[in-house]
């Protein structure tokens, strides 16, 4: 793909995102041939944002999540600042195809992690984290049958990114906790809907974060200071409908909520 092909592929998908419409696939001539090309298509989405990139998401960090979208490993996507919802704010459900809310650990960075030949260790990545936040992701896809299109088209489509919510900064004591064994509760309309653990996120949210840092590095992207990374759902995604209020209860690490309008 040349630069114009990449721009055209991203424009095709972004148009569907804006209109709330669906497609079957990318047109044949606009489909990425490999992972690097898929991320280059995805990168064009930053041209549609008037603000600096808010951060990154990781899709398919559980075996169930990978099976759900038909991939064999995690995928990285970009979080646009315009798609951030204030804690306790509302998301218009509209034509959202997935109709789920996911409770996630989010890590906000205090230093850049630029691309390099050597892989980043977990200790190096965590040393650059400024804060942890409880988060909610409200994903979506522009493909009518997202479970069939494969990893490359999903990456091109920003790894099912849509809306996200960051809660207040968690206490620094998070660094002393075993996040793999940490319990997160998902509430809907004041009632417990799902319970999960950090181990559902690639075995540990910190492992997922390290994977993201190295995935970006491998393909030449910088994880920047002040960007946040939402690492994947800790529990079974919660089905949502208009009028619902969802809340993530992260115990001593705080709570985060969103209304579905």
Give the pLDDT confidence score for residue 68 in this predicted structure: 87
CA distance 100 to 119: 34
Tokens of 66: 């990978």
Q: Which residues of the chain have pLDDT under 50?
A: none
Q: pTM, whole model, 2 decimals?
A: 0.97
Q: What is the DSSP letter of 28?
A: G
From 153, 166, 34, select the one nearest 108 (Cα to Cα).
166
% of the chain beyond a pLDDT of 90: 97
30 within 8 A of 4, measured Cβ to Cβ: no
Helical packing angle, 3-19 and 35-43, nearest 10°: 60
- Domains assigned to the chain: 52-260 (3.90.850.10)
Give the pLDDT confidence score for residue 249 in this predicted structure: 98
Helix (H) or strand (E) holding 232: strand 228-233
CA distance 154 to 128: 29
Q: What is the DSSP letter of 198?
A: G
Chain segment 174-187, per-residue pLDDT in tens: 999 999 999 999 99
143 within 8 A of 25, measured Cβ to Cβ: yes
Give the pLDDT confidence score for residue 62 in this predicted structure: 87
Chain segment 62-86, per-residue pLDDT in tens: 888 998 899 999 999 999 999 999 9
């Amino acid at each position: 793909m040349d630069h114009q092909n990449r721009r055209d592929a991203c424009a095709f998908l972004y148009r569907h995102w804006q209109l709330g419409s669906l497609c079957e696939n990318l047109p044949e001539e606009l489909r990425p041939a490999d992972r690097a090309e898929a991320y280059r298509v995805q990168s064009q989405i930053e041209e549609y944002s008037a603000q600096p990139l808010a951060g990154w998401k990781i899709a398919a960090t559980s075996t169930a999540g990978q099976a759900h979208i038909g991939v064999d490993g995690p995928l990285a996507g970009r979080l646009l600042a315009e798609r951030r919802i204030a804690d306790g704010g509302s998301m218009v459900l509209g034509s959202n195809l997935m109709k789920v809310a996911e409770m996630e650990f989010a890590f906000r960075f205090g230093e850049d992690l630029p691309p390099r030949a050597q892989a980043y260790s977990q200790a190096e990545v965590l040393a650059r984290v400024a804060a942890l936040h409880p988060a909610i992701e409200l994903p979506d896809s522009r493909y009518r049958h997202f479970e069939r299109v494969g990893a490359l088209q999903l990456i091109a489509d920003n790894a099912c990114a849509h809306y996200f919510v960051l809660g207040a900064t968690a206490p620094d004591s998070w660094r002393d906790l075993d996040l793999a064994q940490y319990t997160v509760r998902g509430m809907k309309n004041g009632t417990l809907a799902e319970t999960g653990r950090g181990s559902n996120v690639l075995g540990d949210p910190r492992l997922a974060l390290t994977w993201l840092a190295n995935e970006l590095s491998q393909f030449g992207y910088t994880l920047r200071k002040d960007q946040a990374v939402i690492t994947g759902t800790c529990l079974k995604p919660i089905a949502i409908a208009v009028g619902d209020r969802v809340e993530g209860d992260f115990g001593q690490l705080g709570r985060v909520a969103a209304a579905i309008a």
